[in-house]
Amino acid sequence: MANPLIVITGPTASGKTGKAVALARALGGEIISADSRQVYRGMDIGTGKDLDEYGEVPYHLIDICDAGYKYNLFEYVHDYGEAYADIVARGRQPILCGGTGLYLETVLKGVSLPPVPENKELRATLQDKTLEQLKAILERYKTLHNVTDFDTAKRAIRAIEIHKYYHDNPGLKVLTEPHPVEALIIGLDISREERRERITERLKARFSFGMVDEIRRLVESGVKPENLIYYGLEYKFITQYVIGEITYDEMFGGLETAIHQFAKRQMTWFRGMERRGFTIHWLPYNLADEEFVKEVKALLN
Nearest-CA neighbor of 159 among 175, 132, 174, 137?
A: 137
Q: What is the pLDDT of residue 69?
A: 87
**CATH number for the domain harbouring residue 240:** 1.10.287
My answer on whether 132 and 167 are in the same domain is: yes
pLDDT reported for residue 165: 86
| DSSP secondary structure of 260-297 | HHHHHHHHHHHHHHHHTT--EEEEETTS-HHHHHHHHH
206 shares a domain with 246: yes
Q: Is residue 54 part of a domain?
A: no
Predicted confidence at residue 295, as pLDDT, reads: 98
157 and 210 within one domain: no
Residue 147 pLDDT: 44
| DSSP β-bridge partners for residue 60 | 32
* Residue 26 within any structural domain of the chain: no
**The pLDDT of residue 141:** 72
Beta carbons within 8 Å of 151's beta carbon, 6+ residues apart: none
What is the predicted pLDDT for the residue at 146? 45
Smallest Cα–Cα separation from 190: which of 96, 254, 266? Answer: 266
| Residue 229 included in any domain | yes
Give me the domain span that covers residue 250.
Answer: 193-263
Note whether residue 61 is domain-resident. Answer: no
Residue 210 lies in a domain: yes
Which pTM value belongs to this model? 0.84
Same domain membership, residue 214 and residue 164:
no
101 in a structural domain: no
Residue 298 falls inside a structural domain: no
Domain end marker among 105, 138, 171: 171
Q: How far is CA 268 from the centre of its chain?
A: 19
pLDDT of residue 92: 97
> Can you give the pLDDT of all 301 residues of the chain as single tens digits?
456 899 999 999 999 999 999 999 999 999 999 999 999 999 999 999 999 999 999 999 999 999 998 888 888 988 899 899 999 999 999 999 999 999 999 999 998 777 788 999 999 999 999 988 998 898 877 555 444 445 678 878 988 888 888 778 876 666 656 688 999 999 999 999 999 999 999 999 999 999 999 999 999 999 999 999 999 999 999 999 999 999 999 999 999 999 999 999 999 999 999 999 999 999 999 999 999 999 999 999 9
Could you give the CA distance from residue 111 to residue 107 in angstroms, rounded to a whole number? 6
- Is 206 part of a structural domain of the chain? yes
Among candidate residues 171, 202, 237, the one where a domain is terminated: 171
Number of domains into which the chain is organized? 2
Phi, psi of 293 (to 5 degrees): -60, -40
Q: What is the Cα 140 distance to its own chain's centre?
A: 19
